[in-house]
Amino acid sequence: MTSSKKYVYAFEEGDGKNKMLLGGKGANLCEMTQIGLNVPPGFTASTDACNAYLEKNQLPPGLMDEIRTHMAALEKKTGKGFGDAKNPLLISVRSGAAMSMPGMMDTILNLGLNEVSLKGLITQTGNERFAYDAYRRFIQLFGKIALNISDEHFDERMVAIKRKYGAPQDVDLNTEHLKELAGEFLAIVQRQTGQAFPQDPFVQLEIAVGAVFRSWMGKRAVDYRKQFRITKAQANGTAVSICTMVFGNMGNDSGTGVGFTRNPGTGENVIYGEYLVNAQGEDVVAGIRTPKAIAEMEQEMPEIHRQLIQLRSRLESHYHEVQDFEFTIEKGILYCLQTRNGKMNARAMVRTSVEMFHQGLITKERALLRTEPAVLEQLLVPQLAPNFHAKSLAQGLSASPGAASGKIVFDADTAETRGRAGEKIILVREETKPEDIHGFFQAQGILTSRGGKTSHAAVVARGMGKPCVSGCEQIVINDQLRSAKVGDTVLREGDVITIDGGTGHVYAGEIPTVEAEFSEEMNTLLGWADEVAALKVMANADSPVDALRAREFGAMGIGLCRTERMFNATDRLPIVQEMILAETLEERQAALDRLLPIQRADFKGIFKAMKGLPVTVRLLDPPMHEFLPTAAQLELEIAHLHQLRDTIKALEDLPETLKMLNPKLYQQYADGLTPLMGALGTFKKSHMEDEVIAKKEKILKKVRALAEVNPMLGHRGVRLGITYPEIYSMQIRAILEAAALCGKQGIEIYPEIMVPQVATVEELKRIHSYVQRIRQEVRATHGIDVQFKFGSMLEVVRACMRSGRMAEIAEFFSFGTNDLSQATFSFSREDAENKFLPFYNETGILEDNPFEVLDIKGVGQLMKMAVQNGRVTNPDLKVGICGEHGGHPGSIRFCHHIKLNYVSCSGPRVPIARLAAAQAKLLEDQYREPV
C-alpha cells in the first residue's frame, strides 16, 4: 500500500550517500548533519514522492502526514513555531536531483511567513524593513513558483513604487514603501488566482512541495537534461528538502560568509574566505558592503572563528577533500548551510594533494587522481604575472592557453607586415578564415569576437601553440574604422592589449608574463606518479639545452631527437644546401664530411646531457627542399637582380641616348657623366657579376626539380636514406662516433637509432645494413663496440600493417602519430586545420581535433594491431609514441591500455604526461575503448 511507504527522512536519518533517493542537496544535508555539523535542522521528501506525484498529479497519500510529523519535530528542535507570532519557524523548500542541474528547478525561501509570523520576524530581528522585504519577496516567489503568476505583474508594481517615491534602487525603498508593496503583491495574488494569498503555513507548504516536484518536468529542466544527456538512471526526479531558515542579520552576534578549507589560489593550508556581520548572503552578492577576510574574525568573533577552524577540520577529515562551504551565524550560533568540493587552480591542486597526503587525509592514489593532468598546463605555459593588478576588459572562451601581449591589428596582411617588421602583434578579428593563416604566423596571439573553442581561430592557434581567446562577444569590431569597442572603451589599431588564453580574459595594455614554474610539491607529486605509472615518459628534444630542460621536467630519456633541426641552424644550413646542390657523389660527400664533426658534436652534447638515460635519434626526415628557399622567393630575387641589371644597362646607355635626342643637353652634362660611368662600372663589377644570377638560377632549377605535389607523402625520411645512402651514413657515423667518444670518457649512454617514414621491411633492412657496417668501422677506428638499439618509426600505415615482419629487425617501435593520423584520415594537418577541421569539430562530425587528441577508433586500432603483431614476433619489443599525442592525457590512457612502454612529448608536457601515466595505471580496470 502506498500509505505504508516512507517518503520523508529527517537529516539525522537519511543516507548521505543515497543521492538517487534524496537528491544531491538532501543527501549533502543529511551527511553534514550526521557528521556532527551544525546544520539548520530539516528533512527531505524523497524522489519516490516526486515520481508518485508526477504519476497522479497529486501528492501521494500519507506524504503530508509525514511532513506534519517532521515539522512538529522541527518546532521542537528549534523552539520556534510554524506561523508563530513571536518566534516563528521559517523554512526553505529546496529542489535537488541526483545530478546537479544548477538553476533549472525551483526553490522557495522564507516559507511560513504570513501576516502573523511577519510580526514575529520583526520581533526576532528587530528589523522591520528586513521583515517586510522578506515578506514581499516571499509573496512574489511563492506567487510565481507555486501559484504560477507571471513575474511581470510584480515587477510592474515594484517599478511604480520606486517611481512614486523617487527611489532609484530597490535598496532606497524604506519600511513604509515595502509595506505598501507587500500589500499590493497580496492584491495581485488575489486578482490573478481569485483567492487570497494562503495564510496557513501548512497550506503554503503543501502547495510549495507540489510546485517543486512539478518543476522537474518544467521546460527548462527537461531541455537541460536533454542537452547534457542526463538519463533516468542518472537522476530520477527531484527530492524536496525542507530546511529551517537561519538569519545572519539578527544583530551583531549574527553574520554570514563563505569559506574554503584551504586557500584555493595557492593551496596553503589555512582557512580562507570572507564574511559580513549582521548580514544575509544576498548582501554579499549585492556588493553594498565589503566583506572581511575570515582571518579578521579571530579578533571580531573569536569563538565563532574557533568553531570555523573546527568546522574546517571536521569537513576535511570527513570529505578527504578541500571544501567550499557556506555558513551563517544566527545570534552567536554557527550554522553550516552547504559544503562541496572546492574548485582550485592547478598550483593549489598540486600543493593540497601533497600536503593532504602528508596529513594522512588522503592516500597517494587519491593524491594522484584528484588533479586533472591537463590543468598542469596552466603551470607550464607563460602566465600573467601572479600579482598583476588589472581589471579584465572582457572575457571570451579559453581557446588556447598561455598569455601574450601585443599591438592590436585587425587584418592578417597588416599582422604579417608589422609582425615581420619585428612588432609584437595580437590579431583581432570577428572570426578568422583560412585566408588569414599568414597573419597567425606573425601574431603573438589571436582574439576573436565570434566562434567557439573549435572555431578556426581556436584550432589553428592550438596547432601553433599560440594563445587564443575566441568568442569574446563583448568586443564589437569595426573593420572600416579599424577600431573595436568594449563597452565604452575604444581600442584602436596599434593599441596594446594582453590576452590570457587560459582564462579567456582580455586586458588593456601590457601585463607582464612569467614563464613556467615548477614547485617542490609538483616534484613530489610527480615522483609518486613515476612510482605508480607503467608508462615511461620521455621528451622530444633536439639540442643539449632542450635535453637538460626536459630532464628538469622529469623526462626519463629523449624519445625523439630530430636531427633536421640541427641542419637548420644558421652555421650548418649553407653546408646542407651545398650537399643538396651537389651534382656528383664526390661533391655531396665533401659537404657531408664537413657536417660530420658538427653532428657528432651535437650528439655528444645531447648524450652527455642525458647521461644514464636513453636518447633516441631519428635520422633525417624532411624532404630536401625544406632546406632551400622557396621557388617564389628565388624568382623574386632573380627578378630583382634582372631589374637591377636592366637599370644599370639603361644608365650605361644614358650618354648615347642623350646625345641622340638632345646633343646640346649632352654637352652640358658630358663632364659629369664620365665619373658617373666610372662609378657604375665599379658597382657592376662588385655587385652584379652574372655569377650571382647564375647561382640563384641554379638553385631555382634544383628547387623546381625537388618540388613535390604532396611533400607530406614525398621524397623524405628513409626514402632519402636509401636514395642517398651517404647522408644517413654520415648521421649514423656521427651518432656512433659520438657514442664511442662518450664511452671513452666513461659517460654512461644509451643511444638508439630510429628510422623515419619506413613503409617496407626491406627499407629497414637496408638501413640496418648501413648501421652494421658503420658499427664495424667505428670499432676498428675507436676500439669500442658501441652498444645501441635500432628501431623504426611507425608513422606510415603500411609499417603498422607489417609490424610483425618489422619486429624481426627493429628492437623498438615509436609511433609517429602526427604523420600516422594524417595518413589514416587522409587529412593533411596544415590543410585540414586551415580549411575544414574547425567546421568538422563545430558541427560534431569529429568530436576532437585528431592531431591533438588521438583518434582511438581509427588510428588507435592500427596502433593496437601493430603492437600485438610486433610482440608476437618479439615479446620484448619496446614500443612508444612520439607524436604530439604523447602529451595528451586521454591519449596516454589509451597508450597504457595497449601496453606501450613509453610516451614521448615536448618537454613542457612531460609533467602532464607523468601524471596522466600514473592515472592510466590507477584507473586501468575502468578503461573502455570507444566504439
d(CA 588, CA 610): 32
State the DSSP H helix or E strand holding residue 238, giving kind and residue range, or none if neither: strand 238-244
| Known catalytic membership, residue 640 | no
Site membership for a second copy, residue 844 (CB under 8 A):
yes
Q: How far is the CB of 865 from a second copy (least distance, A)?
A: 9
CB atoms within 10 A of CB 18: 17
Could you tell me which stretch among 175-183, 237-245, 744-752, 795-803 binds a second copy (CB under 8 A)? Answer: 795-803
Using the minimum distance from each CB to a second copy, give the nearer residue, 827 or 902: 827
Could you tell me which stretch among 34-42, 644-652, 827-835, 886-894 binds a second copy (CB under 8 A)? Answer: 827-835
HEC letters along 598-657:
HHHHHHHHHHHHCCCCEEEEECCCCCHHHHCCCHHHHHHHHHHHHHHHHHHHHHHHHHHH
Out of 160, 845, 872, 923, the residue judged to bind a second copy by CB under 8 A: 845
Q: How far is the CB of 635 from a second copy (least distance, A)?
A: 9
First to last CA, the chain: 45
Site membership for a second copy, residue 712 (CB under 8 A):
yes
Site membership for a second copy, residue 831 (CB under 8 A):
yes
Out of 798, 871, 897, 921, the residue judged to bind a second copy by CB under 8 A: 798
Site membership for a second copy, residue 826 (CB under 8 A):
yes
Site membership for a second copy, residue 719 (CB under 8 A):
yes
CB atoms within 10 A of CB 386: 10
Using the minimum distance from each CB to a second copy, give the nearer residue, 393 or 706: 706
Site membership for a second copy, residue 832 (CB under 8 A):
yes
Site membership for a second copy, residue 661 (CB under 8 A):
yes
Could you tell me which stretch among 324-332, 476-484, 824-832, 910-918 binds a second copy (CB under 8 A)? Answer: 824-832
Out of 232, 723, 780, 925, the residue judged to bind a second copy by CB under 8 A: 723
Q: Are 369 and 500 in contact (CB under 8 A)?
A: no
| Active-site pick, 70, 177, 456, 888 | 456
Alpha carbon 617 to chain centroid, angstroms = 31
Out of 174, 363, 662, 674, the residue judged to bind a second copy by CB under 8 A: 662
Out of 318, 450, 482, 766, the residue judged to bind a second copy by CB under 8 A: 766
Site membership for a second copy, residue 456 (CB under 8 A):
no
Q: How far is the CB of 862 from a second copy (least distance, A)?
A: 6
Place of cell 608536457: 909
In 709-824, where do the E strands start and end? 750-755, 789-794, 812-815
Site residues for a second copy, window 846-865 (CB under 8 A)?
846, 855, 857-859, 861-862
Out of 479, 708, 785, 808, the residue judged to bind a second copy by CB under 8 A: 708
Sign of the dihedral through C-alpha 553, 557, 560, 564? positive
Using the minimum distance from each CB to a second copy, give the nearer residue, 795 or 884: 795
Site membership for a second copy, residue 905 (CB under 8 A):
no
The CA distances from residue 313 to 319, 356, 379, 444, in Å, are: 10, 12, 29, 46
CB atoms within 10 A of CB 691: 8
Using the minimum distance from each CB to a second copy, give the nearer residue, 450 or 659: 659
Q: What is the dihedral of CA 340, 344, 349, 352, to 10 degrees?
A: -60
d(CA 210, CA 268): 45
Q: By three-state DSSP, how is residue 579 classified?
A: helix
Contacts of 707 (CB under 8 A, 6+ apart): 625, 631
Counted residue by residue, the chain has a size of 931
d(CA 579, CA 233): 67
Site residues for a second copy, window 535-574 (CB under 8 A)?
none
Using the minimum distance from each CB to a second copy, give the nearer residue, 296 or 762: 762
Site membership for a second copy, residue 494 (CB under 8 A):
no
Out of 824, 849, 891, 901, the residue judged to bind a second copy by CB under 8 A: 824
In 3D space, the residue among 233, 34, 214 whose CA is nearest the CA of residue 108 turns out to be 214
Q: Are 257 and 277 in contact (CB under 8 A)?
A: no
Site membership for a second copy, residue 86 (CB under 8 A):
no
For 859, which DSSP code? I
The CA distances from residue 623 to 565, 703, 720, 725, in Å, are: 13, 11, 8, 15
Could you tell me which stretch among 204-212, 236-244, 379-387, 659-667 binds a second copy (CB under 8 A)? Answer: 659-667
The CA distances from residue 517 to 380, 385, 398, 609, 911, in Å, are: 7, 11, 21, 21, 12
- Among left, alpha and beta (phi > 0; psi -120 to 50; other), residue 110 is left
Out of 176, 300, 413, 435, the residue judged to bind a second copy by CB under 8 A: 435
Place of cell 554570514: 256
Residue 562 annotated in ligand binding: yes
| Known catalytic membership, residue 456 | yes
Contacts of 446 (CB under 8 A, 6+ apart): 400, 426, 427, 428, 429, 432, 440, 457, 460, 461, 466, 467, 468, 469, 470
d(CA 1, CA 531): 57
d(CA 641, CA 691): 11
The interface mask with a second copy, positions 603-642, x = CB under 8 A, is ----------------------------------------
Site membership for a second copy, residue 729 (CB under 8 A):
no
Residue 817 annotated in ligand binding: yes
| Active-site pick, 472, 882, 895, 905 | 882
Site membership for a second copy, residue 427 (CB under 8 A):
no
Q: How far is the CB of 858 from a second copy (least distance, A)?
A: 4
Using the minimum distance from each CB to a second copy, give the nearer residue, 746 or 844: 844
Q: Which residues sit in the known binding site?
A: 562, 618, 795, 816-819
Binding-site ranges for a second copy (CB under 8 A): 434-435, 661-662, 665, 701, 704-705, 708-715, 719, 722-723, 757, 759-760, 762-763, 766, 795-798, 801-802, 805, 819, 822-828, 830-832, 835-836, 839-840, 843-846, 855, 857-859, 861-862, 931
Q: Which residues sit in the known binding site for substrate?
A: 562, 618, 795, 816-819
Q: Which residues sit in the known binding site for Mg(2+)?
A: 795, 819
Hey, which residues are catalytic here? 456, 882
